[in-house]
Each structure stands twice: as C-alpha cells, then as structure tokens.
C-alpha cells in the first residue's frame, strides 16, 4: 500500500460525526478498495472538549479552532468542509486550494453562489473539488451526471430535493393536517429547523438544483436567475383536490434545456401519483434524469442525515484516494456553455387554480369570460357544496397555456368582487 491519505475535517456536527463513524466501521474495506489507508489527522471544531459520542476515534488528531488554519495544515492531504455557510467555508476552501489540497464539501450554498470562481481556482491549482454530498444526500446523482451519464446529452432533470418540505407535504396528504401543524410536527421530530425558511421557501432545493443544472448542461447556472417558490401557501384543501384529480403535490426542482435557453425553477407542482416522483414520500429525495441515449432514469434515497450524507462524502474521498480528478462541472471552466435561464413566464403547461367565490349566479360566467379573453382554455371545473351568498371553493384545471397569459388571468380574477381570497395556482407538470 502507498502512504495513508490524511484528512482534515472541518465540522464535527451530524455529518462530521457520521463520517468519523463510517471511517471507523469500514477502514479495512476502504483500504482494500483504494490501496491505502484513510485516516483523519486533523479537525476543526468550536469546542474540542465536547463529548460527541465518538469514543477514542479522534484521540490523536490535531484540533484547530479556525477552519482556515486547518485547510493550511501541512499534515493533511485533503480538506473536508462540513461547516456550511458561505463566508468562512469559502475562505477555508480557497486556502486549501492555494495549498494544493483537494476539497471535499457538502456545502450546496457555497457552490451554488461561488462554484465558478472556486472551480477556476481549483483548475489553476490542479486540484479537484468534490461535492457528491451537497445534493440529495446519499443518492449518487453527481457521480451519475458527471460520469455514468457522460455519454448522453441530458435533456431534463427533475427532483424532489428537500426532505423537510417533502415530509411536510406527505404528512398533510396522509393526515389531512394543515401546513402549520405538519411543520410543527416536522420540527418536533427534528426534520425541520426552528427557522425552516431555507427548506419550506424552496431555497435549499434551489441551491441543489443550480448544481444539478450546471452539471447536466455544462453551464454555470446563476442561482439568482432560478425561479423559486416554497410550500407555505399549500393547504389541506389543495392536497385533497390533487388526490381527487390523480395527482400528488410535491416541491419539485425542474431543469430543462429548451430552444430558448435553460428552464430552471423550484416550486410546488402537481405530478401524477403513479409517476417516478409521485411515490417519493417522507424525508426521501428523488431525482429523474432524461438523456438522449439512456432515456429516463430514476434515483431515490434518503436526502439528509448523518449516514447518507457521510456515505456521499466518503465516496468523494475514495475518488481522491484513487486519483480521480474531474472538473467541478464535468467540463473545464473555459468550456462552460452559455447559461441563459428563461423566465418562468415562458413556461407552457397546464395549471390548477383554486378560488374561493361567493355562491351566486353569474360568478362562474365572469371567471370564464376572463379566461376566454386571455386565451386560457378550461379542461375541467370542480365545485363542492352549496352555500348561497357565502364562499365556496371552485377548482379549475386548464389546458396547456403560456404562464404569462395565466398570470394576467389570475390578476384579473383576483380583482373580481365575488372572489373572496387570493387565488391559488399550482403548476401541473408532466413527469413520467
């Protein structure tokens, strides 16, 4: 065997602790696969004396209070960044690259916002940046796109990329709970943070989709150009109507290549219950990839947690140990294609619209007239219950239409005196 691969691990939280346990459990197996031992020789943590339940696994390592100092430590060969955030993580990653050390990271926000700059620095230094753990937990989707499917032109990537939001929507579907009650349950179980905004507002999923789209299309996608919506507005009533129509509501990331540019967006969507993503429930993630030669492939697994994420981190470390060195986006920075992200108003597709209207004659006719004027065709209309003079829900499913026209129609309908609440619109996506 050659000399050991020495790791410097920044962050000993959930994922860092999982990595230590994985390496302890499978040190022999990993040595056989790579031809060298892999060991943690230095770490960075806020409190070196904290009991993390790791026994003597870190008994002989060097502790650094500063991740940047760890990245520069001559006693490590690989810098493993598991602290999250952007500022300190970026400084530490840049320090490691400048010192000629490969970087393994689980930090999707860092790469979504600064990936191109870091990739250029890594290429100049001749070191890789590996990030399997940054997207979809234990699902090896980065390796699939960057290696396994490299012989394909990727046409589309669809994903359920946030386990917290997926758990909340699953709980609402199974129990009839409101969004607020389902969120509270997710927080009680530890699936959602005290401040759940990154998850339920779609930001976390958008970070991940930005990376997947960049890999799939060989273009550094600008995160700020990605359309992002969350799930706070989804009600138990929408969940019930979706079931009646044969759909499930999921927070979905969509990245498609079109003649006009890249269509990259995150938002709630109604997808067929029997589709590849329709059955992905709870805290699980799912990704569907469409390629010109492979057709469609579906991946599913746990999207977060100590074990799955540590597994993905270790997959990258094994690649480094074997000398596998690929560009961050699968192609050199100089070869990245154009990444024009088209506005969501360019979308052409069907939609679900739920209205709360006064139950009286002529209301539906007024709504239908607006839809006619905006060239929005109705596929079906549902109304449940009668309450003369009071509010009742009305659901309209449209045929395919450009979203700009749909937006104009919604604005005009919302202004009607007979419409009591802001209309809810959920896109219907044809995902097999």
Q: How far apart are CA 145 and CA 213, in angstroms?
A: 10
Residues whose CB is less than 8 angstroms from the CB of residue 191 and which lie 6 or more positions away in sequence, other chains included: 163, 164, 167, 283
Annotated active-site residue 256? The verdict is no
Pairing of strands 154-160, 247-258: antiparallel
Rounded Cα gap, residues 413 and 405, in angstroms? 12
Confidence band of 18 (pLDDT split at 50, 70, 90): very high
**CB-based burial of residue 260 (10 Å sphere; 0-12 exposed, 13-18 middle, 19+ buried)?**
exposed
**Strands 38-44 and 62-64, sheet pairing:** parallel
Which structure tokens are listed for 234?
Answer: 């989804």
Q: Is the separation of the CB atoms in 431 and 242 below 8 Å?
A: no
- Give 120 or 59, the one with higher predicted confidence: 120
Q: Is residue 54 predicted with pLDDT exceeding 90?
A: no
Residue 376 carries which DSSP code? P
| Fold assignment, 5-134 | Rossmann fold (3.40.50)
How many CB atoms lie under 10 A from the CB of residue 416? 16
Phi, psi of 282 (to 5 degrees): 60, -140
β-partners of residue 391 are 358
Compute the average pLDDT of residues 407-413. 97
pTM higher than 0.75: yes
Q: Does 345-428 carry CATH code 3.30.70.260?
A: yes
Q: What separation in angstroms does the CA of 38 have from each of 4, 8, 22, 225, 314?
A: 6, 11, 11, 40, 10
Beta bridge partners of 289: 157, 297
Instruction: Mention the CATH class of domain 141-302.
Output: alpha beta
**pLDDT exceeds cutoff 70 at 339:** yes
Q: Which of 72, 101, 143, 208 is catalytic?
A: 208
> Please, are residues 177 and 171 in contact by the beta-carbon 8 Å criterion?
yes
CB atoms within 10 A of CB 246: 11
Q: What pLDDT does 53 receive?
A: 67
pLDDT for residue 17 is more than 80: yes
Planar angle of CA 101, 105, 107, nearest 5 degrees: 140
∠ Cα 122 125 128 (to 5°): 40
For range 79-86, the mean pLDDT: 94
Question: Residue 306: is its pLDDT beyond 70?
Answer: yes
Residues facing residue 261 across a β-bridge: 258
* Interval 260-267 mean pLDDT: 96
- Cβ contact 337:325 at 8 Å: no
**Residue found by looking up tokens 């650094």 in the block:** 64
User: Could you tell me the pLDDT band of residue 401, with boundaries at 50, 70 and 90?
Assistant: very high
pLDDT at 55 over 70: no
Check: CB of residue 191 under 8 Å from CB of residue 163: yes
Q: How is residue 30 written in tokens?
A: 């990993």
- Tell me which residue of 287, 243, 247 sits closest to 271, measured CA to CA: 247
Q: List all residues 6 or more positions away from 286 whose beta carbon is below 8 Å from its beta carbon.
A: 159, 160, 276, 277, 280, 298, 299, 300
Q: What is the mean pLDDT of the chain?
A: 94
- Say if residue 1's pLDDT is above 60: no
Per-residue model confidence (pLDDT) at position 140: 95
The pairing of strands 78-81 and 103-105 is parallel
Give the integer Cα–Cα distance in Å for 278 and 272: 6
For the chain, how many residues are written?
432
Question: pLDDT tens digit string along 99-148?
Answer: 999 999 999 999 999 999 999 999 999 999 999 999 998 999 999 999 99
- The percentage of residues in the chain with a pLDDT greater than 90, rounded to a whole number, is 87
pLDDT band at 47 (very low <50, low <70, confident <90, very high): confident
- What is the average per-residue pLDDT within 319-333? 93
Q: Band of the pLDDT at 430, cuts 50, 70, 90?
A: very high
Topology alike, domains 141-302 and 345-428? no
Give me the residues paired with residue 378 across strands. 398
pLDDT in tens, 149-203: 999 999 999 999 999 999 999 999 999 999 999 999 999 998 988 899 999 999 9
Q: What mean pLDDT do residues 371-394 have? A: 87
Question: Tokens for 207?
Answer: 């970070």
Give the pLDDT confidence score for residue 51 in this predicted structure: 63
What integer is the mean pLDDT of 210-222? 95
Domain boundaries, given as residue ranges, for the chain: 5-134, 141-302, 345-428
Using CA atoms, how far residue 157 sits from 15, 215, 266, 282, 362, in Å, is 26, 10, 12, 21, 43
């Amino acid at each position: 065997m050659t000399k050991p691969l020495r790791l410097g691990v920044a962050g000993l939280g959930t994922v860092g602790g999982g990595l230590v346990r994985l390496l302890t459990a499978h040190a022999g197996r990993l040595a056989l696969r790579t031809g060298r031992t892999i060991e943690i020789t230095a770490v960075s943590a806020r409190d070196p004396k904290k009991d993390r339940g790791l026994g003597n696994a870190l008994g002989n390592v060097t502790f650094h209070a500063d991740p940047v100092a760890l990245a520069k430590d001559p006693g490590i060969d690989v810098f493993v960044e598991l602290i999250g955030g952007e500022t300190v993580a970026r400084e530490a990653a840049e320090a490691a690259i400048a010192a000629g050390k490969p970087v393994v990271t689980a930090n999707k926000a860092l790469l979504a916002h600064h990936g191109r700059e870091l990739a250029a620095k890594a290429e100049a230094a001749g070191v890789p940046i590996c990030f399997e753990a940054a997207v979809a937990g234990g699902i090896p989707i980065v390796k699939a796109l960057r290696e396994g499917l490299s012989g394909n032109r990727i046409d589309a990537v669809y994903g359920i990329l946030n386990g917290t939001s997926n758990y909340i929507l699953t709980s609402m579907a199974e129990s009839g709970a409101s969004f607020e009650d389902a969120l509270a349950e997710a927080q009680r179980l530890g699936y959602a943070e005290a401040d759940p905004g990154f998850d339920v507002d779609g930001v976390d999923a958008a970070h991940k989709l930005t990376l997947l789209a960049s890999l799939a299309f060989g273009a550094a996608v600008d995160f700020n150009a990605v359309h992002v919506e969350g799930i706070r507005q989804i009600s138990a009533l929408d969940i019930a109507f979706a079931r009646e129509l044969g759909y499930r509501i999921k927070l979905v990331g969509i990245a498609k290549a079109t003649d006009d540019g890249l269509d990259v967006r995150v938002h709630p969507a109604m997808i067929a219950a029997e589709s590849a993503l329709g059955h992905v429930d709870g805290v699980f993630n799912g990704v569907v990839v469409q390629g010109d030669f492979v057709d469609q492939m579906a991946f599913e697994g746990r999207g977060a947690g100590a074990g799955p994420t540590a597994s993905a981190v270790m997959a990258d470390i094994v690649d480094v140990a074997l000398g596998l060195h690929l560009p961050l986006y699968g192609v050199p920075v100089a070869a990245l294609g154009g990444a024009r992200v088209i506005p969501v108003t360019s979308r052409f597709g069907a939609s679900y619209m739920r209205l709360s209207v006064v139950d009286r004659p002529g209301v539906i006719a007024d709504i239908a007239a607006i839809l006619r004027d905006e060239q929005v065709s109705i596929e079906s209309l549902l109304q449940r219950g009668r309450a003369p003079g009071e509010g009742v829900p009305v659901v309209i499913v449209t045929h395919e239409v450009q979203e700009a026209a749909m937006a104009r129609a919604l604005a005009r309908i919302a202004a009607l005196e007979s419409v009591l609440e802001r209309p809810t619109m959920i896109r219907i996506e044809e995902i097999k």
